[in-house]
Amino acid sequence: MSLKFASQSQKSIPLYVLENEECEEFLITLPEQARVWASAQGFSGGLGSFCVLPSAEGGISGVLVGYGDAAARARGRFHLAGIAPNLPKENYHVARAPKSFDFDAEALGWLLAGYTFDRYRTQTTCEARLVAPDEVDASRLEVIAEGEALTRNLINTPTSDMGPDKLQEAFFALAEKHYAKASAIVGDELLEQNFEMIHTVGRASAQAPRLLEMRWGGRGPKLTLVGKGVCFDTGGLNLKPGASMALMKKDMGGSAAVLGLAHMIMALELPIQLRVLVPAVENAIDGSAFRPSDILKSRKGLTVEVNNTDAEGRLVLADALALADEEETDLVISMATLTGAARVAVGPDLAPYFTDDAGTVSALEAAAAKVADPVWRMPFHTPYDALIEPGIADLDNAPKGGFAGAITAALFLRRFVTEAPRYVHFDIYGWQPTAAPARPKGGVGQGTRAILDALPEILKL
């Protein structure tokens, strides 16, 4: 797959991007042969339509691309990427675009249209390449595409090849690529260093649980990313039904997202002191599996009653967040495929997030709209704190009743971040259920591009 722009020195075919209302006027300017051909093809500028214009020599003289109208475009994103896989293998450049054309989003979308997951079988690839428009920062977009591809590859890889040990390998490989420092606390060392909940969740697996840490950068504000790395989730003794287990290879989507984001930050050399923490476990079953009603002691000192072993992600994140909170930092962000309740609330396309910091909200919302990476703020609704307090222990990992599941999970995590001035939690889905432009069915990054674009405002870079 190619996630690079075509060289500007190479010959390329012009793309004429047209909204519905300007189509007729533009077609009049074409040579008669091209105008008649476009008319015969019924091209009228509808979103997602295109018309290849033949040259007198039998080649391609240009491509008309429909950009529809604002109402049609609002129903999706990465519209140019929708036609890219259907074009002949050539290089193309945007020769004409309407004022509404989003150069950054459309150019990135074209790059992402080149993504395929071909580890296990040969896949059809998009062979049409785009010359980077003058209006975009080409190298930045290529870095973002690389980070997104890393996230997708990690999520798409089944647990047979992406268990805690292989996730550690990917983690260390990324650190080595960017000259970052990486370390791991593995197996019983977790107990020795007071990470009881990470150890407890992962101890029944054939692969030892572990906590991965990466550090990069020696100047600037401090950012800590924490990603849920549950490489497979059976549900534990509260066993999931088969249908609910089918996608559980993606339960490490939070770690995949933060690694993709970390790549972007390091490759772009942002002036940030970056720390990445990933608790990597498999929630499996054997005689040592933890049980409903067990009470665990967290690194923070808070006790947690386990009322459902299938609510394990918040347990491993809690210990990692407690570690993050022990060191001075300017911003802590956690990302996790944490609750089905979040999916019910906003569906698979939105990345819900929680924060109490108004400035962070403003920056994220503006960035999300700018880079076509939709997010949705959810509330840290403090009155619901009572729901996560079982009485027999400080906290309940799965309050009964089923109400506000995403909120109560976020409130649970907030208990472990008490010193950092700003905390943001993303409860992402990490999966594209049906193919869409620039997003094939499978693993997908969510929220990371919005975070990347918002960081200069949040951290005052």
- By annotation, the residues acting in catalysis are 240, 314
111 to 88, 200, 239, 432, 433: CA distances (angstroms): 16, 42, 40, 17, 20
H helices present in 185-239, as ranges: 189-192, 196-202
Helices (H) and strands (E) in the chain, counts: 15, 19
Question: For 36, what's the count of Cα atoms within 13 Å in the CB-facing half-sphere?
Answer: 3
CA distance 153 to 118: 9
Number of neighbouring beta carbons within 10 Å of residue 203: 19
CA distance 320 to 435: 34
* Contact status, residue 429 vs residue 338, Cβ threshold 8 Å: no
User: Tokens standing for 220?
Assistant: 């600037």
CA distance 227 to 320: 9
The C-alpha R_g of the chain, in whole angstroms, comes to: 24
SS (H, E, C) 156-176: HCCCCCCCHHHHHHHHHHHHH
CA distance 225 to 26: 49
344: CB partners within 8 A, 6+ apart: none
CA distance 230 to 18: 46
User: Tokens standing for 395?
Assistant: 């906290």
CA distance 339 to 168: 24
Q: Is the dihedral of CA 363, 367, 373, 376 positive or negative?
A: positive
Amino acid at residue number 338:
L
- Helix, strand, coil shares of the chain, percent, nearest 5, are 35, 20, 40
331-336 and 222-227 beta bridge pairing: parallel
